[in-house]
Amino acid sequence: MAKREFAEKALSPWMSKEGPDKDVVLSSRIRVARNLRSSPFPLLSTPAQSKDVMEQLLSVAESGRLNGLGELPTYRLEELTELEKLVLVEKHLISPALAGESRNGALILARNEDVSIMINEEDHLRIQCLYPGFQIREAWEYASKIDDIFEESVDYAFDEKYGYLTSCPTNVGTGIRASVMMHLPALVLTGQINRILSAVTQVGLAVRGLYGEGSEATGNLFQVSNQITLGQSETEIIDNLYSVARQIIGHEKAARERLLSTDSRPRIEDRIRRSYGILSYAGIMDSKEAAQRLSDVRLGVHLGLLPEANPEVLNELLVSTQPGFLQQTFGEALTPEQRDMKRAQMIRSRLATGA
């Protein structure tokens, strides 16, 4: 079987575009949860009911009603291999929940992978829009357009008092999750990160790792998102996240300036160049060490201490060194030890070519 488009390259096309504050914010994401009024929610639906929901929602894309948004191929999860589903998870295009339960699950995916629409995950419909850099308002405007198209085509489960109804009570109301993926190495190195993140949680926001709820913040990557969906409008949710994220960006940039202007500069520069050297020559590299070393090098690029490293390659390696993509790339099942060797091999190769 030929590789599907989404499995050919680790770097989604949208990620190669420039975005505001991209040195700190890797991406901005909106997720919209919706359910159909006419069918039980996924956790309670029968196979026949979930199949009917899948066909209704896929028909919106296949009928051309989304054509104004570009090409949006559809995929039924049962037609994908386990490895392809893992690659989709590693690229943040589907959730682990959808990958693990593919009964009448489906995906509508834009060619440049900035739009990912999941069907029969926790809710009937999950619309996701991804933008490079700090563009959370732009991501919401795009997601809202897609939501409007579906709402014109199907009857959503909606209550006048509570808003949009969802499987998880924490999503009831607007049904939106807005998040920004932030690289905050300077706040970690200067010991300010715990104070900053504690303040963030006090204003109704959540902080998670690279892969969302329950994941560890490896590589100094933190996902900051709203927790409240009920009792606030979409605009209030987006504005609150925007304001807090803007302050975090300011603190991170100030911390980076302090790293360059104090006596710690030689140690920071040594740390960055050591990480670059290890990545360039190591024969074995586990995923946690790779994430930390790549974080150091990425910081070096944005501090102007390591101009020879390509930031686009570093972003690509965040995905291409994950277990699923490694096995997809090398075309074979790999043991953990084999993955660590192949990961090091891939990193050495990409840093050497740098293009």
Question: Average per-residue pLDDT in the chain?
Answer: 91
Of 189-198, 277-286, 345-354, where does the model show the most confidence?
A: 277-286
Q: Tell whether residue 254 is among the known ligand binding residues.
A: no
Residue after which a domain boundary falls, among 256, 275, 306: 256
For residue 241, count CB atoms less than 10 angstroms from its CB and return exposed for 0-12, middle for 13-18, buried for 19 or more: buried
Regarding whether 311 and 290 lie in a shared domain, the answer is yes
Is 181 one of the annotated binding-site residues? Answer: yes
- The pLDDT assigned to 74 comes to 93
Same domain for 288 and 251: no
The predicted structure's pLDDT at residue 66: 87
Consult the annotation and say whether 27 binds a ligand.
yes
Mean pLDDT of 136-141: 96
180 appears as a binding residue in the annotation = yes
Torsion of CA 52, 156, 142, 216, to 10 degrees: -80
Residues 172, 231 share a domain: yes
Q: 133 a known binding residue?
A: no
Residue 348 assigned as binding residue:
no
Per-residue pLDDT band for 1 (boundaries 50, 70, 90) equals very low
pLDDT at residue 186 above 90? yes
The proportion of the chain whose per-residue pLDDT surpasses 70, expressed as a percent, equals 96
DSSP-assigned letter for residue 94: S
Residue 179 pLDDT > 50: yes
Count of structural domains within the chain: 2
CB 15: neighbour CB atoms within 10 A? 24
The answer on whether 271 is annotated among ligand-binding residues is no
Q: Which residues, 6 or more positions from 85, have their beta carbon under 8 angstroms from its beta carbon?
A: 77, 94, 99, 102
> Among residues of the chain, what percentage have pLDDT more than 90?
70
Q: Does the pLDDT at position 269 exceed 70?
A: yes
pLDDT digits 0-9 by tens, 49-70:
999 999 999 999 888 888 888 8
Residue 214 has pLDDT above 50, yes or no: no
Residue 22 has pLDDT above 60, yes or no: yes
Please tell me whether residues 99 and 135 are part of one structural domain. yes
Q: Is the pLDDT of residue 101 over 90?
A: no
24 with 113, same domain?
yes
Query: Is 97 assigned a ligand-binding role in the annotation?
Result: no
Residues 338 and 230 placed together within one structural domain of the fold: no
- 77-90 residue pLDDT tens: 999 998 899 989 98
Q: Could you give the CA distance from residue 260 to residue 213 in angstroms, rounded to a whole number?
A: 34
Helices (H) and strands (E) in the chain, counts: 12, 10
pLDDT at 163 over 70: yes
Within this chain, do residues 306 and 215 fall inside the same structural domain, yes or no?
no
Residues 57, 61, 66, 69: what is their CA dihedral angle, to the nearest 10 degrees? 120
| Same domain assignment for residues 69 and 191 | yes
Given a cut of 60, whether residue 185 has pLDDT beyond it is yes
pLDDT at site 161 = 92
Q: Which of 237, 256, 275 is the C-terminal boundary of a domain?
A: 256
H/E stretch holding 222 reads: strand 221-226
Residue with tokens 């009603």: 65
The Cα 138–Cα 145 span in angstroms is 11
Tokens representing residue 186 in the block: 């300077």
Q: Is 212 annotated as a binding residue?
A: yes
Same domain as 160, residue 189: yes
Q: Are residues 283 and 152 in the same domain?
A: no
Task: Please give the pLDDT value at position 33.
Answer: 96
331 labelled as ligand-binding? no
Domain's final residue, options 234, 256, 278: 256
Q: What is the pLDDT of residue 215?
A: 47
What pLDDT does 3 receive? Answer: 60
pLDDT in tens, 104-135: 999 999 989 999 999 999 999 999 999 999 99
Q: Does 31 count as an annotated binding residue?
A: yes
Confidence of residue 216 (pLDDT cuts 50, 70, 90): low
- CATH code, domain with 115: 3.30.590.10
**Is 179 marked within a binding site?**
yes
pTM: 0.90
Tell me whether residue 116 is annotated as binding: no
Do 250 and 271 lie in one domain? The reply is no
Question: Is the pLDDT confidence value at 348 over 50?
Answer: yes
Q: What pLDDT, in 10s, does the model give residues 286-343?
A: 999 999 999 999 999 999 999 889 988 998 898 889 898 899 888 888 999 999 999 9
- 53 marked as part of a ligand binding site: no
Of 237 and 65, the structure prediction assigns the larger pLDDT to: 237
pLDDT confidence bin for 210, thresholds 50/70/90: low
* Token pair of 214 as six digits: 């329950």
pLDDT at position 262: 78
Can you give the residue range of the structural domain that contains 333? Answer: 265-353
The tokens for 282 are: 């190591």
Let me know whether 283 and 307 are in one domain.
yes
